[in-house]
Amino acid sequence: MMFCIPPSEYPKRINALVALMEKRDLSGVFMSNPTNMRYFSGLTYLQTERPAGILVNRDAEVYFFGPKLEEEHSMYLSSIIKNSFSYFDYPGKIHPFRHFGEWIHKLIHGKNLGMDNTSIYPGVYGFRGIPSAEIIGDYKLVDISSSLYEMRRIKSQKEQELLRESARWANYAHRLLQKYTAPKLFDFEIAYRASSEASVAAMNAFGMDSKPQIKYPIEIFAGFRGQVGTHSYYPHSLSINRPLKKGDILGSGADGSIDGYHVEIERNLFVGRVTPQIRKYHAIMLEMQQEAISSLKVGGKFSDIDRVVVSMAKMKDVSQLLLHHTGHCIGLEGHESPFFDVGDDSPIRANMVFTIEPGIYVPKLGGFRHSDTIIMHEDGPEVITYYPNNTDDLIVI
């Protein structure tokens, strides 16, 4: 089995894009969002101050616009880019946007141009654009970013296979993380050891005779994000400047990211003895997560799942310990919409992929959160992350 998106899938995505053009009366679509570029063409673009994008016309032809240093690389990475147009570098004697305008007028015939960013390219790494009206002329720019996002929400069977494979490697990386966790070690040194060992194993498993199936940089990762001891109270703690010690509650996580498709495994680990108070809060969190998973059904609302969690938290008298909503969709980005939030009434649809991760956070004690990744089917949810979740299995001896 090839653990990457096959070349045959990209023309299907481009054809869906052409159908969108016909529906919205667009002459073409220009995309500069790296995730959109990757989804529709297979091109992984390292976004810097050098603007780049792909243009797709009504004939389903795909063109790359970007700096000279990426011209050959873009053709190598993508099987469906028909041709590339390049400028030497940014800022250059002629602003890259003026080149873009010239190329668009050459390749697109019509008045309406779909864009995932009507500013053409974001202001990253010191890049400064010029008004699009100066280069687009009489074209009408149509923001289709939400339509492109909608197309990415439903995962194909091949995408689901990749997500299951990502889950397997995330599970392995987290197993190594728990194995190497011990008092007197820093959280980052444990994470580096587990993540690098899992990544090397994956690279060897997929083989190195041809283009690696794991895209650089390898992102098989397991770690703690500074959620150590009482700092596990902070959902995004980032770092803590001390080694682990006995009695610490740890917030851990892992991601397989095969061919760029992310999953989430999040767990608590416990260093040494677990107190009755810790067992109590951990058990409540597990009940909340299981109730949310059991409530998933096609046609329901994302907001309803969050309400289930909030209702249970009130029943267990821990609603004051909630700090975030219940979860989010996931795929080529670690967080995607819709969200399991009381403010998001989007319908749950078959072949969506998302996380369920309610958490409770106890001041001066720590945080309790597990995250699992789920593929939604017509007949119910498929939990593709399968790391143990009961308290005793998560104790580090």
> pLDDT tens digits for the chain (397 residues)?
567 898 999 999 999 999 999 999 999 999 999 999 999 999 988 899 999 999 999 999 999 999 999 999 888 889 999 899 999 999 999 999 999 999 999 999 888 999 999 899 999 999 999 998 888 888 899 999 999 999 999 999 999 999 999 999 999 999 999 999 999 999 999 999 999 999 999 888 876 544 444 454 457 999 998 999 999 999 998 888 899 999 999 999 999 989 899 999 999 999 998 999 999 999 999 999 999 999 999 999 999 999 999 999 999 999 999 999 999 999 999 999 999 999 999 999 999 999 999 999 999 999 999 999 999 999 999 999 999 999 999 999 8
Rounded CA-CA distance 303/281 in Å is 24
Domain extents for the chain?
9-152, 154-396
Rounded CA-CA distance 365/227 in Å is 12
- Cβ–Cβ under 8 Å, residues 57 and 28: yes
Give the pLDDT of residue 382.
98
Give the pLDDT of residue 239.
82
The distance from CA 329 to its chain's CA centroid, rounded to whole angstroms, is 8
The distance from CA 22 to its chain's CA centroid, rounded to whole angstroms, is 29
Give the pLDDT of residue 109.
86
Give the pLDDT of residue 2.
66
154-396 CATH choice from 3.40.50.2300, 3.90.79.10, 1.10.4160.10, 3.90.230.10 = 3.90.230.10
Give the pLDDT of residue 107.
94
On the CB side of 77, CA atoms within 13 Å amount to 20
The distance from CA 339 to its chain's CA centroid, rounded to whole angstroms, is 13
Class of domain 9-152: alpha beta
Q: Which two tokens stand for residue 17?
A: 């894009």
Rounded CA-CA distance 170/195 in Å is 9
The distance from CA 145 to its chain's CA centroid, rounded to whole angstroms, is 17
